Structure 1
Amino acid sequence: MKKQTVLITDAARSQDEQYRSRQIRYVTMMGARAACVILGAILVSVHPPLLGLWLIFCAAGMVFLPWAAVLIANDRPARSKEERAAAAAERDYEQAVLAQHAAEPEPVEYLTIDGEHWVSEHDRKT
């Protein structure tokens, strides 16, 4: 009997797993595009009823599937509810810190450099 593994962490999937799943989605969608090309060629040679409508569907698949495949393949997985809550809490904390520092301006000391040569007290006596 096969043992079931138990997930004991709520960590996100590894980058390699995410990349592999995006690759599979991309190849699947591009395979569907190739199927649209082949189906369009078969339909043209067979001349079924409503040929124009079928060719429009095939052309739409050939045009829109590559665009959608690239968008989906480059998209990262959605963040979980806990990740969104943690990000919002971090953003709120950063805004509170920035607001606190903006409310209490620190005095700024500027360095003024004079064009004339400075002579120290020690140089004047000698």
Structure 2
Amino acid sequence: MKSPEPDDTPILITDAAQSYEEEFATRRRRYSIMMALRVPCLVLAAVFYNTPWLAVAFILVSIPLPWMAVIIANDRLPIKASKFRRYRDDSDVAALERKDHPVIEP
């Protein structure tokens, strides 16, 4: 039986979480991005003041952004589902499946 080719991906040895500083920086970056999206919405609403429905749409989009930014920034980061390698010897599985299984009848 051929041996599996070596995989260059490292084997997972720990489920260590990000440090508090890294997590805080990520959350702060998300908050800044969401709050920065509000400014263009309000500017576009001012630019399209001649088209009232479009200006109102931009204003309505910008209203929940601060609330969503706070909720997302205060939430913890999701736990990443990582796929890791496990050693699996397929020769044992194949050998077990090839054997005849005795049937016991009453």
- TM-score category, normalised to shorter length: 0.5 to 0.7
> Counterpart in 2 of 1:75?
75
Higher relative contact order (CA 8 A, sep 6+): 2
Which of the numbers 11, 27, 32 marks the counterpart of 2:32? 27
Q: Which amino acid aligns with 1:71?
A: I
For structure 2, list consecutive stretches of 5 or more residues without a partner in the other structure.
Answer: 1-9, 82-106
Runs in 1 of length 4+ with deviation above 6 angstroms? none
Greater fraction helix: 1
For structure 1, list consecutive stretches of 5 or more residues without a partner in the other structure.
Answer: 1-5, 82-126
Q: Work out the percentage of aligned pairs sharing the same amino acid.
A: 38
Give the secondary structure class of the aligned counterpart of 1:76.
coil
Structure showing greater Rg: 1
> Counterpart in 2 of 1:57?
57
Count of residue pairs the alignment pairs up: 73
Q: Residues of 2 paired with 1:9 and 1:60: CA distance?
A: 45
Alignment TM-score, normalising by the size of structure 1: 0.50
Q: Which amino acid aligns with 2:67?
A: W
Which of the numbers 36, 42, 46 marks the counterpart of 1:41? 46
Q: Residues of 1 paired with 2:38 and 2:13: CA distance?
A: 40
Alignment TM-score, normalising by the size of structure 2: 0.59
Is contact 2:31-2:72 (8 Å) kept?
Answer: yes
